[in-house]
Amino acid sequence: MRSPTTAGREFPFRRKLQLWRAARAQRRGTDRFRKEDFALFRLEVGVPGLEEAFDGYRLAHLTDLHLGQWLSPARLEGVVDLTNGLGADLIALTGDFLSYDLDGSARDLEAQFARLRAPDGVFAVLGNHDHWVGADRVRPLLQRCGIRELRNDVFTLRRGGAVLHLAGVDDVMVHQDDLAQVMARLPAGGPALMLAHEPDFADRVARTGRFGLQLSGHSHGGQVVLPGFGPLIRGPHCWKYPIDRYQVRGMTLYTNRGLGSNMWWIRINCPPEIALVTLRRPAGEG
């Protein structure tokens, strides 16, 4: 791993623009939560080796909030209410909780993240923007909310004698990922899932042959999706797998469209998303 080379203070214009736009939206009353602005995507994923005790296990997946941009505190409050109402067993967060401003958004982010509830807990990995605004401040915020960060780490869920391993890598774009460390900590037996901010990392994860599912974000689904063409906007680490569901070797990848937006406050055919993922035993197993 290498140390992040870009800090939030290197984006003074973008930070000022973010704060100005957010203040204008608040004055105009255009920052309010409306349920119809958000889409709930439900998918079932067969996970090889999944035991009966985890058949039907549900994960709520949130990513790319970019709080303080289009996603206002009021909108995030509504999203948390919707997420808690899904009754998921676990909540997975895959990064970019902030954009360019931490000081103005930290209190609202902490207040709402502390409200997230799931029986097996809330787990997270960081995205590039979280590093840029200051991972050393984002991490304690997550801890205060009771959220467990999987920083190149593995957590094992247990139901009786059945296990399900949940792994996570730190951000790829700022060179903090360490898949070798994850593999060293991953037990030899039992199905495994991966949380990774950048979806194109799936090629490396799938080559291990060890994971049944990767959940990612980063791309915002391209924000503008043209019929017959697909996502209009693609970028580093989300060029290959920018939106929705893919099979990468024997692993399922799901790239969530994200909840917020960064510089461009526009979405066409690509609504802000909450994903509810149900794990299933593949046909023929058991």
Q: Tell me the pLDDT tens digit for each residue of 176-213.
A: 999 999 999 999 999 999 999 999 999 999 999 999 99
Quote the pLDDT of residue 122. 98
**246 in Cβ contact with 205 (< 8 Å):** no
**56 in Cβ contact with 280 (< 8 Å):** yes
Looking only at the bridges linking them, the beta strands covering 122-124 and 148-149 are parallel
Could you read off the pLDDT of 126-164 as tens digits, one per residue?
Answer: 999 999 999 999 999 999 999 999 999 999 999 999 999
Name 38's Cβ contacts closer than 8 Å, sequence gap at least 6.
78, 79, 82, 259, 271, 272, 273, 274
**Whole-model pTM over 0.85:** yes
**68 in Cβ contact with 104 (< 8 Å):** yes
pLDDT tier at 18, thresholds 50, 70, 90: confident
Could you read off the pLDDT of 222-238 as tens digits, one per residue?
Answer: 999 999 999 988 889 99
Quote the pLDDT of residue 284. 76
Could you read off the pLDDT of 29-78 as tens digits, one per residue?
Answer: 888 999 999 999 999 999 999 999 999 999 999 999 999 999 999 999 99
**Domains, the chain, ordered by start:** 39-280 (3.60.21.10)
pLDDT tier at 286, thresholds 50, 70, 90: low
Q: For the ranges 6-15, 110-119, 252-261, which has the lowest average pLDDT?
A: 6-15
Quote the pLDDT of residue 12. 82
Quote the pLDDT of residue 19. 79
Quote the pLDDT of residue 171. 98
Quote the pLDDT of residue 10. 64
Hunting for tokens 């569901």 — which residue is that?
Answer: 245
Quote the pLDDT of residue 265. 85
Taking residues 79-106, report their average pLDDT: 96
Quote the pLDDT of residue 2. 44
